[in-house]
Amino acid sequence: MLRTVEYRNVNISYSLQGKGNCIVLLHGFLENRSIWKEISELLSKRFKVIALDLPGHGQTDCLSYVHSMDEMAEVVRFILKKERIRRCILIGHSMGGYVSLAFAEEHPKMVKGLCLLNSTSVADSDQRKEFRDLAIRTAKKSYEKVVRISVRNLFSEDNQIKLKPKVEEIIQEAVQTPLQGYVAAQEGMKLRPNREHVLKNADFNKLQITGKYDEVIWLEDAQQESTRTNTDLVVLEGGHMSFIENHSELSNILLSFVKKC
C-alpha cells in the first residue's frame, strides 16, 4: 500500500505491506524504494515492511540544500510515529545504512536489529570527500553522464556485462533523481560523522553484508570494521549492488537475520 505524509511542508512517499514486527528498508544514493520490491514481498509474508523514498529520491521531494543523515533519520522517525510503531529492524543499503546508523544513535531503544548492506559506519576519508566535491561539480555540467558512469561502476565488472539489462534499468531509475537531490545527498554523506560506536555499543542484533568486489566499500576495510565493532560480516560475490547481483542469496540471509531480531 502506497502512502504519503507531509513532513516540513514536503511530501514523503513510502509503502507499507504485511503485519507483525516492523522492518524498515532504506535505499541507497540515486535509488528509491523500488529496489526492495521483491525483498519486500518476501519479508511481508511474516513481517510489517516499510520501504520509503528518502528525501530527494523517488517520489519524495527535497527538504533542503543538504540532506544530512540525521535529518533523513528523523523522516524515518516521523513515519514510524505516524504508523504508531515503537520498535523496528533497519536494513539500509549504502546511504540507507548511514541513515540507519544515525537513527540508531538517536533512538537506540526503537531498534531491534540493524543490517548494513554494502555500507559502513566509518566516516568519509578526506580523499572521498574530495571525490564527492568533484562529482557534484561535474554533475552540474553533465548530470546524466555522471549518473550513468557512477551507477554502472557499482556493479562488478562481470555483472556489468552479465546483468546489462538490469544495470540499464537501474540507471534509468537513477537519472530520474533531481540534481538537487543528488547534491543534497552527496553533501549530507560527506558531512556524516564516524558512527562505529553505534555498532560497538549496540544491544540490538547487527549484521554487515559486503560484496567481494565492491568498489565503494573495500572488502579489507569491511573486514577490519567488523572486527573493531564485533559485527558479523557476510561476504557475497559481486560488487556494491548485492540486492541485484546476489538477490536469492541475499533474500535468504536477510530473512534469517530478521527472524533472530
Predicted model pTM:
0.97
Alpha-carbon distance of 215 to 130, in angstroms, equals 17
- Look at residues 75, 54, 98, 56 and name the one whose alpha carbon lies nearest to residue 183: 56
Helices (H), the chain: 37-43, 69-82, 95-106, 126-141, 143-152, 157-162, 164-174, 179-191, 196-200, 219-229, 242-245, 247-260
Alpha-carbon distance of 11 to 62, in angstroms, equals 9
For residue 135, CA distances in Å to 21, 55, 141, 214, 218 come to 39, 19, 10, 19, 20
- Look at residues 126, 116, 65, 71 and name the one whose alpha carbon lies nearest to residue 95: 116
Please classify residue 43 by burial: count the beta carbons closer than 10 Å to its beta carbon, then call 0-12 exposed, 13-18 middle and 19+ buried. buried
pLDDT tens-digit profile, the chain (261 residues) = 889 999 999 999 999 999 999 999 999 999 999 999 999 999 999 999 999 999 999 999 999 999 999 999 999 999 999 999 999 999 999 999 999 999 999 999 999 999 999 999 999 999 999 999 999 999 999 999 999 999 999 999 999 999 999 999 999 999 999 999 999 999 999 999 999 999 999 999 999 999 999 999 999 999 999 999 999 999 999 999 999 999 999 999 999 999 999
Cβ–Cβ under 8 Å, residues 155 and 241 = yes
Alpha-carbon distance of 116 to 101, in angstroms, equals 9
**Structural domains of the chain, ranges and CATH numbers in brackets:** 2-260 (3.40.50.1820)
Q: Which residues contact 237 (CB under 8 A, 6 or more apart)?
A: 156, 211, 212, 213, 245, 246
Q: What is the DSSP letter of 163?
A: T
Q: How far apart are the first and last CA of the chain?
A: 25
Q: Is 75 helix (H, G, I), strand (E, B) or coil?
A: helix
- The residue written with cell numbers 537506540 in the block is 108
Q: How many CA atoms lie within 13 A of 124 on its CB side?
A: 19
Alpha-carbon distance of 14 to 5, in angstroms, equals 8
Q: What is the DSSP letter of 195?
A: -
